[in-house]
Amino acid sequence: DDDVASSCVKLDADVTRDNVGHAMVDSMDTNTAWNYFSTIVEFMNNKVECIMTHITITADHLQTTLTHEKQSSEISDDNADSVKHDAHNKFSDMLNQDFKFSVDKLLSDFLPADEDATVQPEGGEVVFEYPKMEQIKPVKVGHEQSVDIGDETSVKVITLSVNPPLFEIPDFMSNEDSDYIIEASNEKGLHTSRVFATGNETRSNSDYDKGRVSNSTLILESKENVAFLTKLQKRAAGLLRVPVEVIRYSQPLAVGQYYPGGFYHSHMDSNIADADKPCCFQTTCPYINGTEREHLECCQMCRMATLLYYLDNVEEGGETAFPFADKSLPDMIRSMQDQQWHNLTKNCEQAAVRVKPQKGKAILWYNHFLDKRGYLGAVNKRGYHGGCNVKKGVKWIATHWIQYPKYEHRLLPSKYFMKSAV
């Protein structure tokens, strides 16, 4: 596939199999080796979209063989060596054949960043230091916890999936607040949402809306709505256990509207690869033609979490679907074999988790793992999601995308802060 081949060329980094792979595998028992393999495969899977096709064969092979080995015999001292040897060879094969990139690099997102690498803001003035984040613990599916969101209010948070951590908060927003947002959007006017189905199309009008059929608008701060927005930001901050600045310095509240036939195919709210790039919300990349696409060539999204509010009931359809929530890696890879796996018009029912829109309900999920210090880590591919076709009625949503920096960038201001400060 052309797309795969061309992006794979970019990953032509050195393989560190001699110092990483061999040394580790030599000192492992089968269980550890299996865990290690799955972890590596998982990392690769999360980090490097382009090798998905290659990885499938190896991961499946590895899974089958190791599962078989574990079941077929107790591993005695006698055969331990041969098992190790086998694992060793498989890992070498895996690295030799298809994976021409550095394992170190893949793991780097999960390792603590170098303290000295902290980037200082231009001009030296620190307006806000992003603290270490603590994500809400999902515990297990169905788990209910009460989260204090300030103002002597607590909300019920119900776990919908563990990986990604995905939660439902019934009645997070009052009817009045939902109506306020709908009204403000109608007053401002909504426009057709422009999203590409894949990153691969050339830009032309006919390509717009392949990935999404909906209308949208942004609720920008104004004198009239600042009190409302601040109240909502505080609730969001309370829920996410972050200072309100984190919400305020993220992008503005986005409103989406879907008529019958409207949908949004599965996508990630943050980028998959390019961990080396700075976060878009902390950079002023030159916009070429004023579009987000080129924009992403110099920065990455860094949307740590998504907090989505349902502003109204939908008579039929319009579920938010998470095709891979809590799915095993082999299952996920298998689903991705279908060229159209992201097509929710076709695959809504197969999604692992589907959330029915209900007025006032919010859902929250984390698009990224935390790194070892509690800052932005790698993207979690199980966070793929989208909106199924609305069948009857109109679907209204509002979204807070919560931007969070990498550890090294915790002192850098958000460009959204800069804008409101000017």
Ligand X SMILES: O=C(O)CCC(=O)C(=O)O
Task: Note whether 150 and 164 are within 8 A (CB).
Answer: no
Minimum distance from CB of 269 to ligand X (Å)?
5
SS3 percent helix, strand, coil of the chain, rounded to 5, is 40, 20, 40
Nearer to Fe ion, 21 or 211 (CB): 211
Nearer to ligand X, 252 or 413 (CB): 252
Q: Which does 184 bind (CB under 5 to 8 A by kind): ligand X, Fe ion, none?
A: none
Task: Note whether 281 and 249 are within 8 A (CB).
Answer: yes
Minimum distance from CB of 212 to ligand X (Å)?
8
Minimum distance from CB of 386 to Fe ion (Å)?
7
Minimum distance from CB of 381 to ligand X (Å)?
15
Nearer to ligand X, 232 or 397 (CB): 397
Q: Which does 382 bind (CB under 5 to 8 A by kind): Fe ion, ligand X, none?
A: none
Minimum distance from CB of 259 to Fe ion (Å)?
18
Minimum distance from CB of 254 to Fe ion (Å)?
10
Rounded Cα–Cα distance for residues 47 and 99 (Å): 13
Residue number with the smallest Cβ distance to Fe ion: 269
Nearer to ligand X, 238 or 262 (CB): 262
Neighbours of 173 (CB within 10 A): 21
Minimum distance from CB of 387 to Fe ion (Å)?
8
One character per residue 258-277, x = contact with Fe ion (rule: CB under 5 A): -----------x--------
Backbone angles phi, psi at 180, to 5 degrees: -60, -45
Q: Which does 397 bind (CB under 5 to 8 A by kind): Fe ion, ligand X, none?
A: ligand X
Ramachandran class of 307: left when φ > 0, alpha when ψ lies in -120 to 50, beta otherwise: beta
Nearer to ligand X, 217 or 320 (CB): 320
Rounded Cα–Cα distance for residues 216 and 234 (Å): 23
Minimum distance from CB of 340 to ligand X (Å)?
18
Nearer to ligand X, 138 or 256 (CB): 256
Rounded Cα–Cα distance for residues 356 and 108 (Å): 37
Nearer to ligand X, 211 or 238 (CB): 211
| 231-264 burial: b if 16+ Cβ within 10 Å, else e | ebbbbbbbbbebebbbbbbbbbbbbbbbebebbb
Residue by residue, DSSP assigns 343-376 as -HHHHGGG-SEEE---TT-EEEEESEEE-TTSSE
Q: Which does 406 bind (CB under 5 to 8 A by kind): ligand X, Fe ion, none?
A: none
Nearer to Fe ion, 178 or 216 (CB): 216
Alpha helices, DSSP H, located in 117-202: 175-188
230 contacts: CB under 8 Å, gap ≥ 6: 244, 248
Site residues for ligand X per CB under 6 A: 256, 264, 269, 320, 385-387, 397, 399
Q: Which does 409 bind (CB under 5 to 8 A by kind): Fe ion, ligand X, none?
A: none
Q: Which does 405 bind (CB under 5 to 8 A by kind): ligand X, Fe ion, none?
A: none
Rounded Cα–Cα distance for residues 290 and 191 (Å): 17
Counting Cα atoms < 13 Å in the Cβ hemisphere of 215 gives: 14
For Fe ion, the binding residues (CB under 5 A) are: 269
